[in-house]
Amino acid sequence: MSELPVIRLLPKAKPQAIRHGFPWVYSNEVVTDRRTRALAPGTLAVLEDGDRRPMGLVGVTPASKIIGRMLDRDPKATIDRAWFEDRLTRALAHRDRIYDGPFYRLVHAEADGLPGVVIDRFGDAAVIQPNAAWADARLDDLVAALVAVTGVTTVLKSASGRARSLEGLDDADTVLLGDVGGPVPVQMNGATYMADLTGGQKTGLFYDQRDNHRAVARLARGGQVLDVFSHVGGFALAALAAGAETGLAVDGSAAALDLARAGAEASGTADRFDTRQGDAFEVLEALAAEGRTFDVVICDPPAFAPAKQAREAGLRAYERVAKLAAPLVADGGYLTLCSCSHAVDLASFRNASARGIGKGGRRGQIVRTGFAGPDHPLLPQLAESGYLKALTFRL
């Protein structure tokens, strides 16, 4: 029998959800005796149901609300380099079918069978976010497997994920292998983006919006574009590559806008691209006072509601964004509003956006609803993995 420790579901806990694919075990569902509480974060344990029947192998973080993350349905599995290679090979096969170049999200956490782990690939470099203790404790095996499967020569650890603090992990970014000479150029949708793998947000670039960039860019051909919360020029650079007349990127980060300008230079669209640094809400108000209008306006803010307790405040913020952005859209133009908040579902976000548009004195029809691209697969048992929503209104 396994020498691993055991965590056991309480008799009242219902194991069906876990048996049917739900990947998390909550702390209020298990027997948390002194022995369980004493387990080191990242310990591997066998999960048993209330009748002591093994259900699988979990990574344990005793102090977390999510005390166990299902790693393998086989309780006798060995979590080693070969195990990681198997998961990574499966993930890579999917991306290789979709994309011509090695620029994508390679691992999207639970949906790719690596709970809490995010890996974004930038050609010969990869950035890992090990947001769960079990993965952080086995980072050497994960990196070795990543190199063996993909051939990358540079690997970085991004410790910026909010979940790391909930797991009791450090927030120190580290170069684990190789070196990074500067921003990495990434070709997407006809534009070149500059990804800062060491000092940028998250892993350096947001691959999840790729399909939404492309769809909105088609609407922007021949028009003027306003891209608010632009980061490194996401929607604006794609629109310019598709034939937009002008693109204005707004962001609070001077460093992000420097990368956006570098991307415009590399894309050959710098003569039609401009930036404005400042608080997005204040810039939206200033543009309205200037009497500016645009054929296409996009607002892609950070998560206003990263957790349930922030949900109502987040919805009010999304409503305010819509209210301020709507008057800037020319008649017959398009407004795309995005949310990456786990705690805000699509219906609630749609309603908040519609209220804001109405309060902004406009009316519109929804012409497109977008989500993250196929390199961000959705685990059907885990609604939280479908975090990104993008609504395009014609006003």
Annotate 186-230 with DSSP letters as a single string.
Answer: EEETTEEEEE-TTTSSTTSS-GGGHHHHHHHHHHTTTSEEEEES-
Fill in the DSSP letter of residue 360: T
Angle of helix 234-241 relative to helix 254-267, nearest 10 degrees, comes to 10
| CA gap 234, 139 in Å, rounded | 31
Token duo for residue 294: 């645009």
Helix (H, G, I), strand (E, B) or coil at 172: coil
Helix (H, G, I), strand (E, B) or coil at 378: coil
- The pair of structure tokens assigned to 169 is 């992990």
Query: Residues 146, 249, 260, 340: which is the catalytic one?
Result: 340
- Amino acid identity at 144: A
Closest CA to 73 of 47, 91, 97, 51: 47
Tokens of 350: 């749609």
Residue 81, amino acid: R
Do 183 and 205 form a contact (C-beta atoms < 8 A)? no
In the DSSP assignment, the letter for residue 183 is P
CB neighbours of residue 222 within 10 Å: 9
Active site includes 340?
A: yes
Residue 10 structure tokens:
């309480």
| Residues belonging to the active site | 340
